[in-house]
């Protein structure tokens, strides 16, 4: 293969070099490849030094993603706009599966564990987080339950729900990780995730603000995820604008406008209309969920 063609990491077809995206944090060109067969796009020369990327500075919003501020969220769970996302995810999950005391839920790539903590108080089921790096130890010290790699291995096939919120875009080998997630679920279990939707940006991916190439290295269309899920032991299902997505998108709007705190004026905005407008532009709800087969 010539340097401007690589094998697609999802379907194996030829992915062509679209062009370079200059990193703003790590100042170097990152090569973006796009597969016209399944729609997947990926950084061909990703920065994989995870210790450097996911450092204390990253989680404080001083690293590769200035919109991240996990430390603030961890210390101010009642004040952060992230609470809308937690509430929305819980509502979405409840619309797909009943939550009972014996329900087992794993939040895979849980960052500071904020969703885990929120759901321990509000979901009425058992939930744990899984994460690596600096933030894991900080959050674990504040009492959020995390599973170790060893505990995860011995919990295979035991979860009713696995969530991965804004995780898939960070993965250099998505099929391998989806297989791992599938192995954690019992047959019939639910895999719920969020990640950017490349489809509206298909013709001009390099101008997409979500393309922060130091950290976001894989980009999916709904059909990409349908294929990836089928390849890894899931049945993909398209749910549309299901309950909870108004809150999930509300959070995304506020975050992209760089609001960290909830405030009274936010409550009077017509979120039903605003979130549907944003959804028709960005296709947030067009992605599927996965049912473990």
Applying CB under 5 A, does 230 fall inside the site for Zn ion? no
Quick one: which segment of 4-12, 92-100, 154-162, 170-178 binds Zn ion (CB under 5 A)? 4-12
Contact, 290 vs 191, CB < 8 A? Answer: yes
Provide the minimum distance between the beta carbon of 176 and Zn ion in the complex, in angstroms, as a whole number.
16
Q: Is the dihedral of CA 43, 284, 39, 172 positive or negative?
A: positive
Tokens at residue 62, please? Answer: 């001083």
Q: Does residue 10 belong to the site contacting Zn ion (CB under 5 A)?
A: yes
Q: How far is CA 101 from the centre of its chain?
A: 26
Least spacing, CB of residue 225 vs Zn ion, in Å: 12
Q: What's the rounded Cα separation, in Å, for the pair 59 and 79?
A: 18
Q: Which residues of 148-161 are buried (b: 16+ CB within 10 A; e: fewer)?
A: eeeebeebeeebbb
Contact in structure between 193 and 165 (CB atoms under 8 Å):
yes
**Using CB under 5 A, which of 26, 37, 94, 210 touches Zn ion?**
37
> Of the two residues 46 and 111, which places its CB atom closer to Zn ion in the complex?
46
Instruction: Number of residues interacting with Zn ion: please give it, by CB under 5 A.
Output: 8
Q: Which of 21, 30, 32, 38 binds Zn ion (CB under 5 A)?
A: 38
Contact in structure between 190 and 162 (CB atoms under 8 Å) = yes
Provide the 3-class DSSP secondary structure of residue 15.
strand
Q: Interacting stretch for Zn ion, rule CB under 5 A, among 40-48, 82-90, 145-153, 272-280? A: 40-48
Binding of residue 152 to Zn ion (CB under 5 A): no
Q: 35, 81, 178, 228: which one contacts Zn ion (CB under 5 A)?
A: 35
Piece of 27-35, 124-132, 151-159, 254-262 that binds Zn ion (CB under 5 A): 27-35
Work out whether 220 is an interface residue with Zn ion (CB under 5 A): no
Q: What is the phi-psi region of residue 124: left when phi exceeds 0, alpha when psi lies from -120 to 50, beta otherwise?
A: left
* Residues contributing to the site for Zn ion (CB under 5 A): 8, 10-11, 13, 35, 37-38, 40
């Amino acid at each position: 293969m010539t340097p401007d063609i690589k094998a697609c990491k999802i379907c194996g077809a030829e992915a062509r070099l679209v062009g370079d995206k200059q990193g703003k944090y790590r100042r170097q060109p990152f090569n973006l490849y796009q597969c016209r067969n399944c729609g997947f796009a990926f950084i061909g020369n990703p920065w994989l030094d995870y210790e450097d990327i996911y450092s204390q500075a990253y989680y404080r919003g001083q690293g590769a993603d200035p919109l991240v501020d996990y430390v603030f969220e961890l210390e101010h769970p009642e004040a952060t706009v992230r609470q809308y996302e937690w509430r929305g995810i819980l509502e979405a999950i409840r619309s797909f599966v009943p939550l009972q005391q014996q329900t087992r839920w794993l939040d895979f790539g849980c960052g500071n564990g904020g969703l885990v903590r929120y759901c321990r108080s509000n979901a009425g089921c058992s939930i744990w987080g899984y994460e690596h790096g600096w933030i894991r130890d900080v959050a674990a010290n504040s009492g959020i339950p995390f599973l170790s790699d060893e505990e995860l291995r011995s919990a295979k096939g035991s979860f009713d729900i696995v969530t991965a919120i804004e995780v898939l875009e960070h993965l250099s080998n998505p099929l391998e990780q989806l297989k791992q997630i599938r192995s954690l679920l019992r047959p019939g279990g639910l895999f719920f995730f969020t990640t950017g939707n490349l489809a509206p940006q298909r013709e001009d991916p390099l101008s997409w603000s979500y393309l922060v190439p130091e950290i976001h290295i894989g980009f999916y269309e709904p059909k990409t995820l349908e294929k990836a899920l089928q390849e890894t032991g899931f049945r993909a299902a398209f749910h549309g604008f299901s309950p909870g997505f108004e809150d999930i998108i509300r959070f995304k709007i506020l975050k992209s406008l760089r609001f960290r705190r909830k405030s009274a004026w936010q409550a009077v905005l017509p979120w039903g209309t605003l979130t549907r407008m944003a959804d028709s532009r960005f296709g947030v709800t067009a992605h599927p969920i996965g049912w473990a087969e």
